[in-house]
Amino acid sequence: MNSRRDFLQKLTTSAVAIPFLPLYGSSEQFNFYDQLYDGPVLRVAIMGLGSYGTRVAEAMQNCKRAKLVGVISGTPAKVKDWQAKYGIPKKNCYNYENYDSVKDNPDIDAIYVITPNALHHPAVLRIAAAGKHAICEKPMALNAQQGQEMVDACNKANVKLLVGYRMHFEPNTLEIIRMRNEGEFGKILFFEGLSGFKIGDPNQWRLNKELAGGGSLMDIGVYSINGARYMVGEDPIWVTAQETKTDPIKFKEGVDETILFQLGFPTGAVASCLSTYSMNHLDRFFLNGDKGFAELQPSTGYGPIKGRTHKGELTKPHVTHQTLQVDKMAGVILAGEQAVVPVDGVEAVKDLKIIDAIYEVCKTGAKKTLEL
């Protein structure tokens, strides 16, 4: 966790001044990315060098409190390319068989797991055993039992477990949360979350139950599940759900195409959400209260996120989500800072419990009580 004054002096010549929301949720904003930072830096290795891993790596080039220093991959050619592109030393390069030896590498503080869903659980257990902090993409695991095992392993090893909830740091999203907390929407009555797109290649891992753990719900549907919770500001106490499948060849047994689900909250608010792999143009959140409303469309895409409330358009400037996410996660790990909306493993286990329940009630047709 060394400082890198020279690196950041070069970085700030190209950085854009953007208001930065502190992790503590203060209304104070400051031009974090327009200031020289010379504090501790989280040194991160990325596991999984696919398309999203590449997106995170590119975004991390603009981070101030985190730096990409290592890779873990089963593809030697990718490792070689990343070494050349990002200046990663050979001693910080691992494959899926030997990365346990990262425990002996003091130059890596955390490993960001960006692999197919089924690989998250074993990877985080090994990372914890190696004494490194873990950042894991969502869904954190295939089910709540696996997720809890991951939380327990990291607690036992005294390392952090964070999950890639990038929207928890997105400025317009946080503005809605601030307004709700200050009562500007009044009593929250209703939330709608629409998350979906037409998925392409039928042979990709997202349509393989062994690797994905399901279908659309385990991918895009997580956004509406988690979004319902942070937009309403409560955890749900019951769930109902219905599954629809129009293409059983592409969406095989155990791989859901479209799921409608409904959530009920302690204060009486209800949520109606859609998760699908068969419809485009579905990226919208709507929150309704007895004094006002908030809408985000797009609500969870890579940005810019756009929205409005009963008071007018939301105008927070766009910052690359993964840059904000990793920088602020560095604050959580290095300085014990707290996110406005939690991004730890405990948060992820709650989402996994809801996913487990949705799949169950799709089969039973019954309303299920939730205990998160």
DSSP 162-208: EE--GGGG-HHHHHHHHHHHTTTT-SEEEEEEEEE-----TTSGGG-
Q: With 70 as the cut, is the pLDDT of residue 12 above it?
A: no
**Within 13 Å of residue 151, how many CA atoms lie on the same side as its CB?**
18
Which residues make Cβ contacts (< 8 Å) with residue 136, sequence separation at least 6?
112, 113, 120, 123, 124, 150, 161, 162, 163, 164, 345, 348
Domain boundaries, the chain: 5-166, 182-315+341-369
Give 165-177 pLDDT, tens digit per residue: 999 999 999 999 9
Would you call 52 a catalytic residue per the annotation?
A: no
What tokens does 329 get?
């996660």
d(CA 82, CA 72): 10
Banded pLDDT at 350 (limits 50, 70, 90): very high
pLDDT at 243 over 60: yes
How high is the pLDDT of residue 31?
67
pLDDT tens digit string along 90-99?
999 999 999 9
Query: For 100-111, what is the mean pLDDT?
Result: 98
Q: Which residue of the set 67, 132, 138, 316 is catalytic?
A: 138
Mean pLDDT across 27-38:
67
- The one-letter code for the residue type at 103 is K
Residue of 287, 212, 290, 307 whose CA lies nearest to 254: 212
Rounded CA separation 167/341 (Å)? 9
Helix, strand, coil distribution of the chain in percent, nearest 5: 35, 20, 40
pLDDT at residue number 35: 83
pLDDT score at 36? 85
Backbone angles phi, psi at 135, to 5 degrees: -115, 130
Q: Which residue is associated with the tokens 């039928």?
A: 202
Q: Are 124 and 101 in contact (CB under 8 A)?
A: no
- Please give the pLDDT value at position 15: 33
Q: Read out DSSP for 109-142?
A: -EEEE-S-GGGHHHHHHHHHHTT-EEEEPSS-SS
The CATH number given to 182-315+341-369 is 3.30.360.10
Residue 120 or residue 22, greater confidence: 120
Tokens of 323: 């840059």
Q: What is the mean pLDDT of the chain?
A: 92
Asked whether the beta carbons of 337 and 24 are under 8 A apart, the reply is yes
Per-residue model confidence as pLDDT tens digits over 56-75: 999 999 999 999 999 999 99
In 3D space, the residue among 278, 300, 281 whose CA is nearest the CA of residue 200 turns out to be 278
CATH superfamily for 5-166 is: NAD(P)-binding Rossmann-like Domain (3.40.50.720)
DSSP assignment letter at 100: G
Catalytic residue among 99, 112, 223, 359: 223
The pLDDT, as a whole number, for residue 104 is: 98
Of all residues in the chain, what percent carry a pLDDT higher than 90?
90
pLDDT of residue 22: 42
> Does 33 participate in catalysis according to the annotation?
no
Mean pLDDT of 18-46: 66
Work out the pLDDT band at 49, boundaries 50, 70, 90.
very high
pLDDT tens-place string over residues 200-229: 999 999 999 999 999 999 999 999 999 999
Residue 83 has pLDDT above 70, yes or no: yes
